[in-house]
Structure 1
């Protein structure tokens, strides 16, 4: 498979898009298999209810598998459980034409984060979920780790919007989807 992808001679942006497509297809297929095990979808033309248990031996039935699978595969829980992130956010990078970055950003990028309710800015490390690179104009889900946790203690909520910047230049906006660090929750 690797040689086939190399033979396509994709540029960096299209190589990243192909990786995202493959990751999405695999994630969706794993989710469908788990739905089939819960009796909510067919596997190989058959729809049956299987008896499944979690790691503690508790039986998972009645939609619990579907809910757990959705959380795990679509809400990025598989990346969050080992994360040191403070929150998960949907980020939208401005296009180059709208004043955004001229080049792509790699996962681990650390722009300044600015919340509307406060003049304080803090460094916010962005770890992109399901991809390594983001291009101007792209939207992506990311885990964010901020430096000024104590300053923003008890001040953040799910749904809160923010800007991310390079110096005074706004290069994108974000919306908190889920706060992971309980110290930050208002």
Structure 2
């Protein structure tokens, strides 16, 4: 997979450096370029996807806001490449449903607690995480067990 210059509101899936499909985050419109590879991706298990394909790059504007130190966030800032746990859902008891692994990349030296920025997020490729990637979707960033920030697809 490669991060290329694509419109900021599209999700692009590359397998072996070939574009398999793209999905518009604002309309959910899907365009498939390689139906055999898309079906293999759609029907594969999470373990197969992680072993073969690597990372899902969200080429969307992500608004990232760190929780202030006073509200339980970090005491220090983060730098581009930071790898928190990404949480999209909680159980009915308020516990973390599942965490996803990914990194956050942004311009500038450091993002301090209480600040926000526009960033690109790379998540480990799983079918389970793709369903959450829609315009306006918010999720939470953890240094388990601490909530340290939130992100939103603009």
CA shift in 2, pair 1:97/1:154, >3 Å: closer
Other-structure match for 1:105: 78
Other-structure match for 1:86: 58
Other-structure match for 2:103: 125
Cα displacement (A) at 1:103 = 0.7
RMSD: 2.8
Aligned pairs, number: 99
CA shift in 2, pair 1:87/1:166, >3 Å: farther
CA shift in 2, pair 1:93/1:175, >3 Å: same
Query: Rg larger in 1 or in 2?
Result: 1
Larger RCO: 1 or 2 (CA < 8 Å, sep 6+): 2
TM-score of the superposed pair, with normalisation by structure 1: 0.47
CA shift in 2, pair 1:155/1:147, >3 Å: same
Other-structure match for 2:141: 164
CA contact (8 A) 2:104 2:121 kept: yes
Aligned mates of 1:163, 1:146 — CA distance in 2: 14
CA shift in 2, pair 1:145/1:139, >3 Å: same
Give unmatched runs, 5+ long, in structure 2: 1-6, 9-55, 92-96
The runs of 4+ residues in structure 1 deviating greater than 3 Å are none
Query: Which secondary structure state, in structure 2, belongs to the residue aligned with residue 152 of structure 1?
Result: helix
Aligned mates of 1:155, 1:109 — CA distance in 2: 21
Other-structure match for 2:29: none
Query: Which secondary structure state, in structure 2, belongs to the residue aligned with residue 110 of structure 1?
Result: coil
What whole-Å deviation, never above 9, does each CA across 1:92-133 have from its counterpart, x for those lacking one?
A: 1011111111111110000000013771211120001x3131
Aligned mates of 1:95, 1:154 — CA distance in 2: 29
Aligned mates of 1:153, 1:175 — CA distance in 2: 14
